[in-house]
Chain A
Amino acid sequence: MLDSLLAYPQTLLGPLWPAVWTLVKIIVIVVPLMLCVAYLTLWERKLIGFMQIRIGPNRTTFFGLSWLGGWAQPIADGLKLLVKEIIVPTGANKFLFVLAPIMAIMPALAAWAVVPFSPELVLSNIDASLLYLLAMTSLGVYGVIIAGWASNSKYAFLGALRSAAQIVSYEIAMGFALVGVLMAAQSLNLGEIVKAQQGGAGLFSWFWVPLFPLFMTYLISGVAETNRAPFDVAEGESEIVAGFHVEYSGMTFAVFFLAEYANMILISMLTAILFLGGWLSPFPASWGVLGASSFGWLILKAFLVVSSFLWFRATFPRYRYDQIMRLGWKIFIPVTLVWIVVLGAWMQTSLWIWWK
């Protein structure tokens, strides 16, 4: 069906076809992602509202559909930011000032190229996709640093320094957690990693069981990597106003915002894929639709992880900066190192039951 539909543009475009078709696939990924980002902001405000016994945004609606709550809020916010003036501070480096938000969102979107949505559905099924993801997430810090420096503002610069040190530190713990995953899965390919979690034990054959310390490290480092509360000292408003993006307004600010939320969704998607079995169903295969592995399970797992990010924000007070560094270097890195050694020894024995 799809092949016959695609035959006509294929002959029409000729040699340009692969580029155009890839572009179409990229759009198919990015547009829903941006919608998810928009509605994640609404969900964040709603969920934290529920947790604090408030209602959250409930005024902005379309067509008077008030029972849906403030479901037009993200659109209204986006529109407002879109038409606001972009103010470039005096003495700022104009080129880098504009480049910084682009540098922030570029890796957040580029990483999605290797994320598999189902066994076949992936934009680019490369062999070393886990490495590619690590490389892309490590590029995200440039947006923050360049923004802090180009703004010609002390607050922004302090925020950028904090954020850069924090991201570089937590990347190490994150990388070690991923080393554990690739050891257990014996592959760097995300699709293969999910397949390695397919076992008879359903829920318990996923990697969160044998790699539990790494799972916790990855999850918490993920929160720190995306500069989310309780690790959001980069924008600690009580100390440095709003950190690296204090001088940004209008759409340039919105792009930073989009990048942060896209990164959040990416990290939760990866947690779901690497540790929570991806598209595999937690129920036995005999349960029909519930037992079948599907895209819906992946979305559900990612949704739960991303909601827990919001939960953390509503629950914990902000960490002090030296304690963030202590947690990253003195707790997470030793924990991951010890568990990698334990895992290596464990996999050599017959007690290892996760792959045959």
Chain B
Amino acid sequence: MFWFFAAILVFAALRVITARNPVHAALFLVLAFCTSAGIWIQLEAEFLGIALVLVYVGAVMVLFLFVVMMLDINLERLREGFWSYLPIGAVVALLLVAEMALVLSGPYFGLDEAPRPASSPAGYSNTKELGRLLYTDYVYPFELAAVILLVAIVAAIALTLRRRKHGKYIDPAMQIKVRREDRVRIVSMPSEKGGNE
């Protein structure tokens, strides 16, 4: 099962960077997220797996697709600079590979360092355990992260907020409150005399 998911994941991840159409690339990224959620669920991390689908696939990637679909990306122009950027890109990639190799081959990783976790008892709830840890042991880092995110939200909104000077904004509450007397004036007029029937 793991190899099945892993093969799909690697394939999808490769297609993300090789697909010519950016929308296809974004959809392959969705596939990659779903597959890694599957792998996490197999590792008995069902809360994380479902949260990955919920947050990344359900919200982030939808907005991402939204933007990608509306952009008119000119592939020819994107490819123009390929050869001039290749050396620096290659250096960065090699650096990343070297760093990862250093970290992963160090003494703290490896099968011996991470023994197989004991299988969880019946009635064990992954979600409950995570919640307990987040709200007791790690409550301050958790709250701190929440506040930082809130600041980021407020900053993003403040940066893009602009009031239109001549916008024809309608207040729905005012619309609802409108009564007949405000709009219609009933005039009483004497009827015209002497029509020719």
Contact = CB atoms under 8 A, between A and B. Distances in A.
Given A142-B62, A326-B172, A127 B54 contact: no
B13 interface: no
Given A126-B46, A323-B172, A131 B63 contact: no
A132 interface: yes
A273 B54 CA distance: 21
Tell me what chain B mostly uses at the interface: helix, strand, loop, or mixed.
Answer: helix
Contacts of B59: 138, 168, 171
A139 interface: yes
B23 interface: yes
Contacts of B127: 127-128, 131, 188
A17 B51 CA distance: 31
Contacts of A323: 172
Contacts of A168: 59, 62-63
B6 interface: no
B23 A149 contact: yes
B42 interface: no
B172 A145 contact: no
B143 to A, nearest CB: 16
Nearest to B123: A127
Interface residues of A, number: 24
Contacts of B46: 126-128
B66 A138 contact: no
Nearest to A146: B27
Nearest to A150: B23
A126 B63 CA distance: 29
A157 B47 CA distance: 34
B48 to A, nearest CB: 10
B172 A131 contact: no
Contacts of B58: 134-135, 138-139, 141, 171
Given A146-B27, A188-B127, A132 B50 contact: yes
A34 interface: no
Interface in B119-158: 125-127
B73 interface: no
Nearest to B70: A161
B66 A135 contact: no
A128 B30 contact: no
Contact of B66 (A126, A132, A161): A161
Contacts of A135: 50, 53-54, 57-58
A145 B69 contact: yes
A251 interface: no
A183 B69 CA distance: 39
A145 B63 CA distance: 10
Interface string A170-181: 010000000000
7 contacts: A126-B46, A127-B125, A131-B54, A134-B54, A142-B30, A161-B66, A326-B172
Given A131-B51, A135-B57, A323-B172, 18 more contacts: A96-B27, A127-B125, A127-B126, A128-B47, A128-B127, A132-B50, A134-B50, A135-B53, A138-B59, A139-B53, A145-B69, A149-B23, A149-B69, A161-B70, A164-B62, A171-B58, A171-B59, A326-B172
Interface of A: 96, 126-128, 131-132, 134-135, 138-139, 141-142, 145-146, 149, 157, 161, 164-165, 168, 171, 188, 323, 326
Interface of B: 23, 27, 30, 46-47, 50-51, 53-54, 57-59, 62-63, 65-66, 69-70, 125-127, 172
Q: 5 closest pairs, A vs B, by CB?
A: A138-B58, A135-B53, A135-B54, A131-B50, A149-B69
